[in-house]
A and B are shown apart, each in its own frame.
Chain A
Amino acid sequence: MSVQWWCSARGIPWRWSWQAYPGVWIAVLALGAAYARWSRPNGESTSHPNAVSEGRRVGGWIGVALVWASLDWPGGPLGTGYLSSVHAAQFLALAMIAPPLLLRGIDGNRIRAFLARNGIAAKIITAVTTPLFAMLAFTIVMLATHAPGVVDTLMRSQLGAFALDLAWFLSGLTFWWPVVIDVPLRERFGPPMRMLYLFAGTQAHLYLSMWLLLAEFPAYGIYELAPRVTRLSALEDQQVAGGLLLTIGGTYVLAVISVLFFRWFAEPQPEA
């Protein structure tokens, strides 16, 4: 059994034998600890009127579990060095699904209290969660981290693969923050703007999935030259990756937009 700090592409044949990734465990434990702290209601009583619901809190723990599953064995090494389809699933988990689940489980009052006490943190969070900045950052990170040269370079080292995973997760948190959390309060960023924001912010995702689906050749040398794990060719595996991004990612964003729309539709409208 060999131990690696973080998953990286090693170019050796895949074996279904468990491997330890201590760096992943530390990262997931840190995330879990942070989430446990931030999802607690900002007060002694759990019956606080603004307390996070049990469902939201559990959703956040599902987000932690998703992060863990996508980084640890077998998903982590498969996505890092063998299968483009698993790499796409990791992207969906780390940047699209886990961040909003985690953010929904955080108590908004606790964030407000924290930001009131920490001026520098408040300035940074306010700046990076500005919708235009968050959308551009998410789009740039998504496109840059799927560029063949970047993937083929970063995935060969543990530090590079760690940087890529971290970039996905942080850009995902930044992107979903304005949709999920009303801190700081942006009165002009109501439900219609949030729907438009989600639609615009995921256009690059659509482009990326179509590019993977329709490419004539495998885009990434890492996956094309890796010993095969399944009977799928490298190109077929890449098409599965594109299909996953398009169907799961697209359906997920559409579902969130639909929920926002129907909630907004059901809200009592101010009388003219």
Chain B
Amino acid sequence: MLVLILNYHFKKECFDMGIYNTLEYADSNNEVKAIYDDIFEHLGNEGLVDYFKVLGNYNPHILQTTWALFKNVLLTGELPRALKELVFIAISNERECAYCTSIHCAICRYLNIDDETINQVLQKSSELNPKRVKVSIDFAVKMATNSAMVTKHDHKSLLDSGLTKNQVFELMSLASVVNYSNTLAQGMMLVVDEEFANLLKDNVVM
């Protein structure tokens, strides 16, 4: 299933040229370099994806703001990073942001999450374990795609499954950040970074 989804994206986008160009690390000025360095430090070398490099090329201020959002919401907090990445791909998939889905599928692999779990999330499987992971992902997707429909009951089931209120806020904020990220990525007309495309292609086992 994963293969199908990704192949579809590759065929459609892989060979399109982006409209906006990237600014490489070597060519960047001190202000941008400082942000790139911070990204390297937190995400490793693979983390400086085209998404950041395009922002760096045209608007360092927005790059700074966007990176701060990622750093503060995705990388810090009480929820485990693996869960947050699963939420990321669930929402991105739902909103059909191919770029974000691909990148964060690859990140899930870096975090040792196997294809079965990733597929379960992409297919909205009800067999996801543990239960609270499933409940959290469903809640986040609802928040991101149709927040007006979120009910008291949804919140209650989250709290009943053991989330603290602190964690619920973290989850709601994450849903908003994924939305923001999807919107921006789609707006930039990004093509999946070559390295990531290769990584996903090589590792697909089905």
Q: Do A and B come from one complex?
A: no
Residue ranges of B at the interface with A (Cβ–Cβ < 8 Å): none
